[in-house]
Structure 1
Amino acid sequence: MNKNLKIGYFLAFVNELYLPVAIWILFFLRYLDFTHVAILGALSTISSNLFEIPTGAISDLIGRKWTLFLSYIISTTGLLVIATGNVFLVFAIGRIINGLGTSLFSGTHESLMYDTLKSEGKETSYDGVAAKVQTLMWVGLFVAAVTGGFIYDVWPAGPYLITAAFYIIAALSCLFIDEPRIDSEKFNFRNYMKQNLRGFSELFQNERTVRISLLLTTVGAGYFFALRLLGPSQAVQYGLTGKGIGLLFGTGYIIAALASHFYPSLRKRFGNSKLLILASAALLTSFIFAPFVGIALGSGLILLRISSSTTFRNAQSVIVNKFIDSKNRATALSTLALLSEIPFTLTFYFVGDYIDKNSPNSFALLLGGILIILIVPQVFFGRKYLFGKNSKQTC
């Protein structure tokens, strides 16, 4: 196996070995209220999106090897800033630094793997490589969630400091990367904007794509609220410790990985559209019933939402692939993801303030009600594209 691929697999695992993944809200709540925690949750999203353009140029200027090295050094710095902080401003600086590190890694790692294969004329095997990367990422998430939860209960700053140590090891491993001879992607701001506009226009090119894209964006926004703030804060409200939260989310990641693995079989039996609706129903159920259950059923609802998230993402990917030109597919999916993030980035302050004055589960009920009002009409008016004869061309 090519040395670059081995290092790439290692980096995929270590990058998800982010020990604060399940307990980060618990850590910040030691010093802040939910309003400020929500701001921190939004900062990483906003900063990583803003840094996406300049980091593409950096990767082209200094190469994949040094960009990945730099991403881990920067991420390590952000983790150390957070671990040693105790006020909002310091935490905010750390999150912004982490956003920069994340944006440096994301596209660079993927292009390293692809360009390495292309340099050897083996790019047709990329799907298999990508599948292994996804598996390693899920394993990393599981290990991080469980381990981080246990460590947090005895050493609150430990998950951040230990992750920083892991990232330093990852940075050192980047020094052994051989820069691929072929660079399949040269960053250009004009081309970047054209590609994004092209992906956006394909998502909204006619009534069929508009209805499906809006539905996917709406459901995706619900999952993003849960990912960025609601899930961990609900676990805190249920009274779970760091250990309990880690075990809960770790279990959820394993179930999600299994659901993703068996998705092709589920798709053959139910179809993409029905799986999309089932995932949406699971999301809404986890929100609507949250205020009325105890710790056991509440934890079950969080597990339901985590495990259904991969079903939604897989269904989304397949459905979009049916009506988007293959050369614009990745951009279209990125555009959908960005659109799904917008509601949270526009409302994070009000969400945090609402949770402070009420509770996470109270907001879950409110969010679930809003999503029902938005999703049900979209499914009803778009049913001919989801379930009718037109669905064969789309889903």
Structure 2
Amino acid sequence: MILDACGTATGMGFVAVARVTDNRWITCASRDRVNFGLTPGDELDVASTICSEVRACRSSITISDVDDSEIYRDHPTPRQYGFKSYISVPIIKSDDSIWGTLCAIDPNPREIGSHAEQLFTIFARLIARELDRQDELTKGREELAEGRATLQTERDTARLREEFIAIVGHDLRNPIAAVTSGLRMIEKPDISPDRRAMLVFEMQRALTRASQIITNLMDFARGRLGAGIDVNAPAPIDLVPVFRDVIGEIEQIAGQPVLSSIDLPRALVADPQRLAQLLSNLLGNAVAHGAPNQPISVDIAERNGELVASVTNQGTPIPPEMHPSLFHPFSRNESNQKGLQGLGLGLYIASQIALAHGGRLDVSSSAEAGTTFTLHMPAKPA
């Protein structure tokens, strides 16, 4: 309607709204009665247009007849585009930026009076106000979306904080209570040696669990503060005794047998403490979630230039839809019937240790083969 009104008021055959920047002239809308050939999306070389001058001077330019204009009689633009009459009014937004122009041309001279120029100016302001309104709507939608996202983040943070406190309280209270109770019972004079040995074993298992929780919490906090998982691997090291020690510790506290196979013929560059932590976390996860009457299998070997370490337990398989989130912090297998099994940091920390060594952790789970977590990392001998 604006383009039709401008064309009718001036008699000009081509009227357009153009987006004009320092380096582009783009047709946004057009009314073409003279086959000038520009449709929305078409572009002109901005340097070849008079609209670039309108943008520079921030005011209207009108030419009723190029041949009668001392300024534009020899100007290259009218000759290049074949017009005799011209009008262009800047579209200036509320932030005082020039968005583009409302312009018109015709191959014939057209009398452009003050009324027509005023009409173009009014319409240019109307277009500018509409652009401002669209900006406000877009900004409003973005602010609304940002507000909703912030609210959801706050809700998630509050929920996570409550879960975190509940799980930490649960996980640390239990081993502390076990040790306290064990010490109280050991002090009794009539306790048998077998009973004393069993209590010591239970306290050792409780302290191992508490130590693992605290280590994972410290690593998680360090990662959240930007430090990440630190790796200290200055030289090749024989990892076989490192892994055997971890397996031996877990065997002492596990209710199920642990079957292990280690085939590492040479020393490798790696952080022994971190890899021990990784294996301990994987074994701890297998003990917590595996079937108590079925063995846990550990297979560690160097294959095709990689250190490959897998831990397999039997029991209820992990649903495929849960696999992507297993290595996220605070991820826990809610389908497990043992209740709260921990902070859900063990697999996350293990995956970060693998990543720090240039490797990765994979998971596979089925009723037939059991659940297997596998480390793949480069086997660097030097």
| TM category, shorter | under 0.3
Highest CA radius of gyration, 1 or 2?
A: 2
Higher strand share: 2
Higher helix share: 1
Given the two structures, how large is their TM-score scaled by the length of structure 2?
Answer: 0.23
Given the two structures, how large is their TM-score scaled by the length of structure 1?
Answer: 0.22
